[in-house]
Amino acid sequence: MTQLVISDVSKRYGATTALDRVSLTVEPGSRVAIVGPSGSGKTTLLRVIAGFEAPDAGTVVLDGQVLADGPAIAPAHLRRIGSVTQDGALFPHLDVAGNLGFGLDGSEPDRAQRLRELMELVELDPAMLTRKPHELSGGQQQRVALARALARKPALMLLDEPFSALDTGLRESVRQAVARVLTRAGITTILVTHDQGEALSFADQLAVMREGKLVQTGSPYELYWRPADIETALFLGNAVLFDARIETVGVSCVLGRLAAETGGRSGSGTIMLRPEQFRLSPVGPGLEAGIEDIDFRGAQCVVTLLATQGGAETRFTAQVPSVEQPQIGDVVFVSVKGPAFLLPSAG
């Protein structure tokens, strides 16, 4: 099992700062997802780890082996790090067997047996070994790319948006298959993605990047319910924000008094609620609001509510099971499940 320690890594391209003192520790056997909008530096970080890019400063250490110490780096081909990219990067001039065997020692005995095992590992038919990459579907290509990287028994696996080129339906099944394979092989994995749903479901640790900085790391649950700032809150899902007054216990806002950890703060602040925290009922108690619009999404529906209190209008959305879907124009009473989250003050 492998531990990766990234300390204070910085990288600039001319005037642009791609990475700004990024530090991250990846625990043995874990699956980390690095998320962030495009241009946030997540792919640069992955390239630094893989050895395709040298940092200006900082160190990368894998199992006590120094991979990068400032601009001095170990060559990529000696690093024992596997990688799967967005389009798989299969060699078009080699068949599947040639691709799988590319990283294997030429003299390895039982090569054929090993290739078959690899195919089974990624849940592909060994009969496909003689096919050329262009004869495979996108999902099959990604599985071959994964098997190819696994063939060398890497200490660390890097996945750079490996599912983004796939169709929505296929994406989920391939993602689950990959997760299964990696768990079985027990390989420490880093996934880079801009798809928060993918990150939340795949990883047991999330790292959020923005403008070259690592803003927050933690478990998906932790980051979803307790984001460090508004941007992270919105990046990981829909969020409803209210101004609130901090009480001795909990907070109060248009929705009334809500449970929340205040950490001893006082005065006012911003609270975040996820739309699925709202409960709508035809009778009180709760905030009285009119239904303005309904967006039906199958199992769930998103309801736009308008509350008028003391002449001030507040508009927000709630997500409720569609079996409980109200009608436009209905008046409902809104209550909250679970605690609200008081966002850390900007300062």
Residues lying near other proteins in the complex (CB under 8 A) are found at: 50-54, 63-69, 71-79, 81-83, 85, 87, 89, 91-93, 102-103, 145, 148-149, 152
Q: Which residue lies nearer to other proteins by CB, 129 or 343?
A: 129
Helix (H) or strand (E) holding 294: strand 287-297
CB of 12 to other proteins, least distance (A): 15
Q: Contact, 25 vs 5, CB < 8 A?
A: yes
Query: Residue 133 half-sphere exposure, CB side, CA atoms within 13 Å?
Result: 17
CB of 97 to other proteins, least distance (A): 14
Q: Which residue lies nearer to other proteins by CB, 82 or 139?
A: 82
Location of structure tokens 């924000």? 241
CA dist., res. 240 & res. 164, Å (int): 28
Q: Which residue lies nearer to other proteins by CB, 117 or 288?
A: 117
Q: Which residue lies nearer to other proteins by CB, 131 or 257?
A: 131
Q: Which residue lies nearer to other proteins by CB, 73 or 124?
A: 73
Partnered with residue 289 across adjacent β-strands are 332
Q: Contact, 8 vs 66, CB < 8 A?
A: no
Quick one: tokens of 250?
Answer: 């909990």
CB of 149 to other proteins, least distance (A): 7
Q: Which residue lies nearer to other proteins by CB, 29 or 250?
A: 29
Helix (H) or strand (E) holding 221: helix 220-225
CB of 73 to other proteins, least distance (A): 6
CA dist., res. 342 & res. 70, Å (int): 39
CB of 66 to other proteins, least distance (A): 7
CA dist., res. 88 & res. 138, Å (int): 9
CA dist., res. 30 & res. 1, Å (int): 9
CB of 78 to other proteins, least distance (A): 6
Q: Which residue lies nearer to other proteins by CB, 5 or 89?
A: 89
CB of 71 to other proteins, least distance (A): 5
Q: Which residue lies nearer to other proteins by CB, 147 or 287?
A: 147
Cite the beta strand spans of 134-254 per DSSP E: 156-160, 188-193, 205-210, 213-218, 240-246, 251-253
CB of 81 to other proteins, least distance (A): 6
Residue 69, class by beta-carbon neighbours within 10 Å (0-12 exposed, 13-18 middle, 19+ buried)? middle
Partnered with residue 240 across adjacent β-strands are 273
Kindly report the backbone phi and psi dihedral angles of residue 213, in degrees, each rounded to the nearest multiple of 5, phi listed first: -110, 150
Number of Cβ atoms within 10 Å of the Cβ of 168: 7
Q: Which residue lies nearer to other proteins by CB, 82 or 269?
A: 82
CB of 205 to other proteins, least distance (A): 23
DSSP state of 108: -
Q: What is the dihedral of CA 281, 327, 299, 170, to 10 degrees?
A: -140
